[in-house]
Structure 1
Amino acid sequence: MNDLLKITSLSVDLPGPGGPVRVIDEVSFDVPAGRTVGLIGETGSGKTMIAMSVIGLLPEGAAVGGAISFAGTDLLTCGPQRLRALRGHEISMISQDPMASLNPTQRIGRQVGEVLRRSGAPRAEVRDRVVEMLDRVGIPDAARRARDYPHEFSGGLRQRAMIAMAMIAHPSLVLADEPTTALDVTVQARVLGLLRKLQVEEGAAMLLVSHDLRVMSHVAQDLVVLYAGRVAERGSTASVLGRPAHPYTKALVRSVPAVRTKTAIADPLPGTSAVPARRPSGCAFHPRCPLATGRCRSEIPRPREVAPGRWSACHEAEKVLS
């Protein structure tokens, strides 16, 4: 498949009190054109940091290694002017908190059309495109609501406005960072369905960041499982969730409650998630892993192909699969 986005051995170091902290450690995966790749993992696993690395919005003082190639352009070396030209037009982003991302002092329509104005489009064309896009994402009476401010929109409508902003310039790649976390379940389903529909219509690829396996199972075709800033496993969503090749993924799947269970959590994941600043030696998951051996405690497992199209960073991957 044609890989639109290719991330190779990505590492991100952030300054800390005791020196640099490696929050992303040798992460590699691809996002093919037109497909949705999900980044899944517990809080602090590095999902958002990877998305921010793609768009060049890392915290001050961050040191980045490896390569991020977008349609043949290395985003880590292309320079700020080229990166600014790509943002909004070729690569767009949908954040998890639209109220924190939208400017409360500007009308919705002005913010949705900003990327078009920056490209020099005539005012009348921008106005028409904004109304058309707001209507496409399901905002009623779009021409009038375009003149409203963010506080006059509900949470669901604000997220729809964010989707309109992200899709208005027909980007090739959409970075969706927990786009429905702040919404209730019914609104979440509608927004995800809308986002998927627009993605298919526009032919865009999507990198979807989420901690919700149920969301991923409905939206993403491919899955990258992260733990403490490292790839635990990756492959098609159906194969990763249906037959995990890493104990962490297996534990995540078992921790998702079925609709008919009487308890809130089907089978809770034991222990506490490792954080990059205090990452254990060897496999970072070994303190919580029932299959851990002496090798797991001393040697970092690197992703290897354990089945066609399946990669796992586990010394005991074959045992997990069987």
Structure 2
Amino acid sequence: MVVDLPGPRSTRVRVVDGVSFDVPRATTVGLIGESGSGKTMTARAILGLPPEGATLAGRLLWHGEDLLAADPERRRAVRGREIAMIFQDPLAALNPTQRIGRQIGEIPRRDGLPRAEVRRRVVALLDRAGVPEPERRMRAHPHELSGGLRQRAMIATALAGEPALLLADEPTTALDVTVQSRILRLLAHIQAADGLAMLLVSHDLRVVSHVAQQVVVMYAGRVCERGPARDVLRHPAHPYTAALVRSVPAVRTSTAPADPLPGAPATPSARPTGCAFHPRCPLARARCRDETPQVRETARGRWSACHFSEEVPGS
């Protein structure tokens, strides 16, 4: 999949460049990378909510159907019902003028359910999301709830259409550590109970290492590595993944010192030639500056976009 955005002086900027991965049923896939790597843009493109002016190309296969080739009516039918999203800032995503219950009940109302049944569904969804006193909370406006309760209301809203794929975009970013843990446990419980496919977008490797079974690593709009979470995080096959792991010692051991990544992340508007990571990479050679590496299978179920993946320390 490719996503282009309007750039300066009528140019186009490629912010998602040939991204390809699967999200199997009953599996959580962690989509990780530094800010600006294209994670959220990828998730929004999957949902069919790219920014204004964006153009999408390639294929987006959903049960064999290419959603990028589908008409707008079909995309609207998928959004919220088959594929739903938990946004990272529920205060911005929820309508501040409407009560929580009305927003959660939007899909049941569209299905033509009686008012009493819609109310029952909303209460049940809030209760499942761990909201105390759901009958009272459903009458509240978003600003009347704490950050944790707003995120739980956002989860209830996403579950209202009984989706098969749940996109969770940094769902715990604005929450304190205790609430983060509760939200992550809740998501893991719902995902396991319903057999959902879940794409967890995060820059926090500690979160992903505890929740995800598969990992996709992005840098400058491209996939640089993917595979089983345990293998990728313990034995990276790309220098960028290895640098991310070293910068968060708790992923491997709580006693190792942090080793921040050198330099600044590449931006889509100023992406280096060849491998976008080569200006920051300790393994970089002339080939890395001249030739863009393709994602290739380095071991069974492991994929890396590095010319010298076999030389990555610890791989």
- TM-score computed with the length of structure 2 as normaliser: 0.96
Residue 275 of structure 2: aligned partner: 283
1:86 and 2:71 are equivalent in the alignment: no
Q: Shift of residue 271 of structure 1?
A: 0.6
| Alpha-carbon offset, residue 169 of structure 1 | 2.3
Unaligned 5+ residue runs, structure 2?
Answer: none
Which aligned runs of 4 or more in structure 1 are off by greater than 3 angstroms?
A: 257-262
Instruction: Classify the secondary structure of the residue corresponding to 1:209.
Output: strand
Q: Displacement, 1:136?
A: 1.3
1:190-243 deviation line (CA, Å, top 9, x unaligned): 001001111111111111100000010111110000000011100000010010
Q: In the alignment, which residue of structure 2 is the partner of 1:12?
A: 3
- 1:138 partnered with 2:138: no
For residues 284 and 32 of structure 1, the distance between their equivalents in structure 2, rounded to whole angstroms, comes to 29
Name the structure 2 match of 1:69: 61
Distance 1:160 1:87 in 2: 20
Q: Which amino acid aligns with 1:186?
A: T
TM-score relative to the length of structure 1: 0.94
Deviation digits for residues 286-315 of structure 1 (CA, Å, limit 9, x no counterpart): 000000010001000010000100000000
CA distance in 2, matches of 1:147, 1:14: 39
Q: Cα distance, 1:122 vs. partner? A: 1.8
Deviations 1:239-294 (A, max 9, x none): 100100000000000000438559xx711111110011000010000000000010
Whole-angstrom distance in 1 between the partners of 2:56 and 2:254: 45
SS in 2 for 1:76: helix
Shift of 1:188: 0.3
Query: Counterpart amino acid of 2:45?
Result: S
Q: What residue in structure 1 maps to residue 27 of structure 2?
A: 35
- Pairing 1:45–2:37 present: yes
Is the Cα–Cα contact under 8 Å of residues 199 and 205 in structure 1 kept in the other structure? yes
Superposition RMSD in Å: 1.3
Question: Which residue identity lines up with residue 199 of structure 1 in the other structure?
Answer: Q
Decide whether the 8 Å contact of 2:48 with 2:79 is kept in 1.
Answer: no
Q: CA contact under 8 A between 1:170 and 1:202: conserved in structure 2? A: no
The reply on whether 1:271 has 2:263 as its aligned counterpart is yes
Question: Which residues of structure 1 form unaligned runs of 5+?
Answer: 1-9
3-state SS, counterpart of residue 262 of structure 2: coil
**SS of the counterpart of 2:258?**
coil
Partners of 1:137 and 1:13 in 2: CA distance: 36
Give yes or no for the alignment of 1:148 onto 2:140.
yes
Partner amino acid for 1:217?
Answer: S
What residue is the counterpart of 2:227 in the other structure?
235
Please, which of 160, 167, 188 is the counterpart of residue 196 of structure 1? 188
Task: Tell me the equivalent position of 2:216.
Answer: 224
* CA–CA distance in structure 1, aligned partners of residues 201 and 265 of structure 2: 18
- Indicate the residue corresponding to 1:181 in structure 2: 173
Q: Whose strand proportion is higher, 1 or 2?
A: 1
Q: How big is each residue's C-alpha offset from its partner over 1:37-74, in whole Å with a ceiling of 9 and x where there is no partner? A: 11100000000111111111112221211100111221
| Secondary structure at 1:156 match in 2 | helix
Q: What SS does structure 1 have at the residue aligned with 2:34? A: coil
Distance between the aligned counterparts of 1:121 and 1:86, measured in 2? 19
Which residue does the alignment assign to 1:121?
113
Q: Which residue of 2 aligns with 1:60?
A: 52
How many correspondences in the alignment?
311
2:309 paired with 1:292: no
Q: Report if aligned partners of 1:92, 1:171 keep a CA contact under 8 Å in 2.
A: yes
SS at match of 1:306: strand
In 1, the alpha carbon distance for the partners of 2:272 and 2:43 equals 25
